[in-house]
Amino acid sequence: MSRSKRSVLAGLTLVGLSLLAVGAAGAQSVRSGLAAGTDDRAPNAVTGLVTDVDLAGPSITLTWNLSVSDKVRQQPTSTDFTSYGVFSRVNDVAGYQVWRAAFGGSLELVTTVAAGVGRYTDATVVSGTTYTYQVKAVDKAGNASSAVTSEPLSLGPPPVISVTPPAAMVESLLRFGEVASGRGASARFSVNNLAVVEDAAALRVTIAVTGAGFASDRATLSIAKGAADTFTVSFSATAPQNLNGNYTGTLTLSTNDPVNRSITYGLTATVTGGPVAVVNLSASQINFGASKVDSAVSRTLTISNAGELALTGNVSFTGSAEFSVAGTGAISLAANGSADVVVTFTPTAEAANYIGLITITSNDATQPAVTVAVAGSGRSAVPILIDPVTGTEIKGDWSGGEGTPDGKIDFDDFFVFADHFGETAPSGAANAIFDISGPDGVPDGKIDFDDFFAFADFFGKTGVYQ
């Protein structure tokens, strides 16, 4: 081999070694991590937007030429090329946004069709309306191309709605009045398309009714130019379970009349004669009278439901701490159901008058809140007459056959009481024993009919002194 050939070969060898070294160094630098970047480049816009209006549908069809960016190409998934690299198939267009604006309105996104698709039919348009469309190509990063805008597209001359009864009626309310339990009421509406222009669009009406018991017999209407149609709105008392009360709702007519897109009526009805809840109490007041100091005495108040509807409500107590009440809080009683409230009285001082009030609130429409007065006073070891059956105090034994108490409440006691009727009886006075009840069940310093009626409750009873 000549010297010149050896020199050429040596030079090639050095070049080869240099290339290998550079490749190795490049491979080492790539392994430190993948290159990252942000896609902020929008696709190319579509071209050739064409529209087709179908008045009968109605619908509007859009077709366009795909963006030149809408094509699949190979993209490396890393920058490591030592093993020829790894590639994936990508498209610079993810889809096509279709935007729409009704006449006088703003653009709204209607849909996004897939890449490779250049057609969309909008069947949600409304007759008698003019629309404008825009189409944009978008990529996965959300970059959007410039918009291609259609010309205004008319779906024909608009319809003209007329409704009887008109929504301009007093306060825009439709009153069904009183509806008896188990019954119903209805109102018929007449809708006219008063359009007179040739080829005017059909009037399309969507009927929506809200409110317990209210309903419409039609959901939609389609009325040709110059024609009319009807629908009925009804109220049924059975829908709200025949419960007495006032009910409200709304009737909304959505139309393609550009002047009257929405017409709203208020609806009202009153159910009467339905089942009711009725509070019934075993006593209107609880009077413990003079109870022994530091001794506990209990009385029971029974709350019952005399109605057909479930009674729901609450029981609360306010008053002296000497009374403890079991059975307060929420109550729920079925028809003919009952619940007991037990009041325990433990006086802490002699001759002191203690008062309290039990309040029952409920869904009884005629008695939403009723009260029961609670009263009592303390006594020392002075004997009192006790009913052997109920264990409660008997008052009114002021005189027996010989002028002394005899454990019986009879006419001897009545005549003694009559002698003091009408007197005032301040606390501690000799005649205060005849002041056994005031308006709220507590002695009030007067001997009057409150005391007489209380005495009448004890008349004829016999007890044992304790």
Asked if residue 423 and residue 433 are part of one domain, the reply reads: yes
Q: In a 3-state reduction of DSSP, which class is residue 30?
A: helix
Asked if residue 299 and residue 226 are part of one domain, the reply reads: no
The pLDDT value recorded for residue 428 is 66
**pLDDT above 90: residue 168:** no
Q: Does residue 81 lie within any of the structural domains?
A: no
**pLDDT above 90: residue 329:** yes
Q: How many domains does the chain have?
A: 4
Which DSSP string corresponds to 96-145? EEEEEEETTS--EEEEEEETT--EEEE----TT-EEEEEEEEE-TT--BP
Q: How far is 6 from 4, CA to CA, in rounded Å?
A: 5
pLDDT in tens, 216-259: 999 999 999 999 999 999 999 999 989 899 999 999 999 888 88
Considering 341, 357, 382, which residue would you say is the last residue of a domain? 382
Asked if residue 408 and residue 375 are part of one domain, the reply reads: no
Give the contacts of 25 (CB within 8 A, at least 6 positions apart). Answer: none
Mean pLDDT of 435-462: 88
> Is the Cβ–Cβ distance between 31 and 23 less than 8 Å?
no
Asked if residue 249 and residue 212 are part of one domain, the reply reads: yes
Would strands 228-236 and 214-216 be described as parallel, antiparallel, or unpaired?
antiparallel
Asked if residue 390 and residue 378 are part of one domain, the reply reads: no
Among 86-90, 308-312, 382-386, where is mean pLDDT lowest?
86-90
Q: Does residue 22 lie within any of the structural domains?
A: no
Mean pLDDT of 17-24: 38
**pLDDT above 70: residue 181:** yes
The residue that leads in pLDDT, 297 or 382, is: 297
**pLDDT above 60: residue 298:** yes
Q: Does residue 367 lie within any of the structural domains?
A: yes
**pLDDT above 90: residue 160:** yes
Give the contacts of 208 (CB within 8 A, at least 6 positions apart). Answer: 251, 252, 254
Q: Cα–Cα distances in Å, from 462 out to 41, 92, 290, 408? A: 106, 105, 18, 5
Q: Does residue 7 lie within any of the structural domains?
A: no
The pLDDT value recorded for residue 156 is 85
Q: How far is 31 from 11, CA to CA, in rounded Å?
A: 31
The two tokens of residue 115 are: 């890449």
Per-position b or e across 20-43, b if 16+ CB within 10 A of its CB: eeeeeeeeeeeeeeeeeeeeeebb
Asked if residue 181 and residue 283 are part of one domain, the reply reads: no
Q: Does residue 184 lie within any of the structural domains?
A: yes
Asked if residue 148 and residue 52 are part of one domain, the reply reads: yes
**pLDDT above 60: residue 10:** no
The pLDDT value recorded for residue 401 is 55
The pLDDT value recorded for residue 29 is 32
Q: How much of the chain exceeds pLDDT 70, in percent?
A: 86
Mean pLDDT of 139-156: 93
The two tokens of residue 441 are: 């069940």
Mean pLDDT of 35-61: 85
Looking at the DSSP bridge assignments, the partners of residue 75 are 88
Q: In a 3-state reduction of DSSP, which class is residue 51?
A: strand
Considering 224, 240, 272, which residue would you say is the last residue of a domain? 272
> Is the Cβ–Cβ distance between 370 and 280 less than 8 Å?
no
Asked if residue 294 and residue 260 are part of one domain, the reply reads: no
Give the domain CATH number at 399. Answer: 1.10.1330.10
Closest CA to 455 of 390, 425, 411: 411
This model's pTM is above 0.85: no
Q: Does residue 27 lie within any of the structural domains?
A: no
Q: pLDDT category, 55, cuts 50, 70, 90?
A: confident
Asked if residue 328 and residue 260 are part of one domain, the reply reads: no
The pLDDT value recorded for residue 201 is 84
Mean pLDDT of 321-330: 96
pLDDT in tens, 93-130: 999 999 999 887 899 999 999 999 999 999 999 888 88
pLDDT in tens, 384-411: 888 888 878 888 888 765 557 788 999 9
Closest CA to 347 of 394, 291, 289: 291
> Is the Cβ–Cβ distance between 292 and 347 less than 8 Å?
yes
Mean pLDDT of 281-294: 86
Q: pLDDT category, 59, cuts 50, 70, 90?
A: very high
pLDDT in tens, 199-226: 888 898 999 999 999 999 999 999 999 9
**pLDDT above 60: residue 292:** yes
The pLDDT value recorded for residue 78 is 61
**pLDDT above 90: residue 138:** yes
> Is the Cβ–Cβ distance between 461 and 385 less than 8 Å?
no
Asked if residue 376 and residue 408 are part of one domain, the reply reads: no
Closest CA to 285 of 390, 395, 440, 435: 440
8: exposed, middle or buried (Cβ count in 10 Å: 0-12, 13-18, 19+): exposed
Which DSSP string corresponds to 395-457? ------TTSS--SB-SHHHHHHHHHHTT-B--TTSGGGGG----TTSS--SB-SHHHHHHHHH
The residue that leads in pLDDT, 291 or 298, is: 298
Asked if residue 255 and residue 212 are part of one domain, the reply reads: yes
Report the mean per-residue pLDDT for the chain.
Answer: 85
The pLDDT value recorded for residue 400 is 65
**pLDDT above 60: residue 445:** yes
Considering 115, 137, 154, which residue would you say is the last residue of a domain? 154
**Residue range of the domain that includes 335:** 277-382
Mean pLDDT of 144-149: 97
Q: Does residue 38 lie within any of the structural domains?
A: no
Asked if residue 205 and residue 138 are part of one domain, the reply reads: no
The residue that leads in pLDDT, 431 or 124, is: 124
Q: How far is 205 from 252, CA to CA, in rounded Å?
A: 10
Instruction: Give the gyration radius of the chain's Cα atoms.
Output: 46
Q: How far is 435 from 455, CA to CA, in rounded Å?
A: 10
Residue 389 region by backbone torsions, left for phi larger than 0, else alpha for psi between -120 and 50, else beta: alpha
Give the domain CATH number at 225. Answer: 2.60.40.10
Q: Does residue 374 lie within any of the structural domains?
A: yes
Give the contacts of 332 (CB within 8 A, at least 6 positions apart). Answer: 310, 311, 312
